[in-house]
A and B are shown apart, each in its own frame.
Chain A
Amino acid sequence: MDSLRGKAVIVGSADTKVGVIAHMGATQLCVEAICLALEDAGIAKNQVDGLITCNSMADPYMYHAEMIAEYMQIFPSYCMSIGAGGGTTFTALHHAASAIATGTCNTVVIAMADSLRSGLSRERAMMMQSSSGHPQFESPYGPTVPAFYALIARAYMDAYGATEEQLAAVAVAMRTHAARNPEAQMRDLITIEQVLQSRMIADPLHLLDCSLVSDGGAAIVMMSAERAADMKQPPVFILGVGEGHSHEHISQAHSLITSAAVDSGRRAYEMAGLGPKDMDLAGIYDCFTPVVLIELEDLGFCGKGEAGAFVEEGNIDLGGLLPVNTHGGLLSHCHSGNPGSMFALTEVVKQLRHAAGDRQVSQAETALVHAQGGIMSSHCTLILGRDNS
Chain B
Amino acid sequence: MPAQTSKILPIPTPETETYWKGCAAHKLLIQYCTNCDHFQFYPRSICTQCMSRDIEWKTASGRATVVSYTVMHRSVSKAYGDEYPQILALVRLKEGPQMMSHIVDCRADKISIGMSVEVTFQDWTDEVSIPVFYPLSS
A residues touching B (Cβ–Cβ < 8 Å)?
Answer: 123-124, 126-127, 129-130, 133-144, 146-147, 150-155, 158, 199-205, 250-252, 256
Contact = CB atoms under 8 A, between A and B. Distances in A.
Interface centre among B8, B16, B86 (most CB of A within 10 A): B8
B60 interface: no
B7 interface: yes
Interface of B: 1-4, 7-13, 16, 20, 41-42, 67-77, 79-80, 85-86, 88-90, 98-102, 108, 113, 124, 130
Contacts of A138: 100
Contacts of A146: 74
Contacts, number: 119
Given A141-B100, A142-B77, 4 more contacts: A153-B70, A154-B70, A155-B113, A203-B71
A250 B90 CA distance: 9
Contact of A147 (B2, B72, B77): B72
B12 to A, nearest CB: 7
Contact of A202 (B10, B71, B101): B71
Contacts of B42: 134, 136-137, 252
A129 B76 CA distance: 8
Nearest to A139: B8
A152 B68 contact: yes
A202 B68 contact: no
Contact of B88 (A134, A151, A205): A151
Given A127-B1, A129-B76, A130-B8, A141 B102 contact: yes
Contacts of A153: 70
A201 B75 contact: no
A146 B71 CA distance: 11
Contacts of A202: 70-74, 88
A137 B1 contact: no
B99 A137 contact: yes
Contacts of B13: 136
Nearest to A201: B74
A202 B84 CA distance: 11
B87 to A, nearest CB: 9
A152 B70 CA distance: 9
A143 B68 contact: no
Given A136-B11, A139-B8, A151 B69 contact: yes
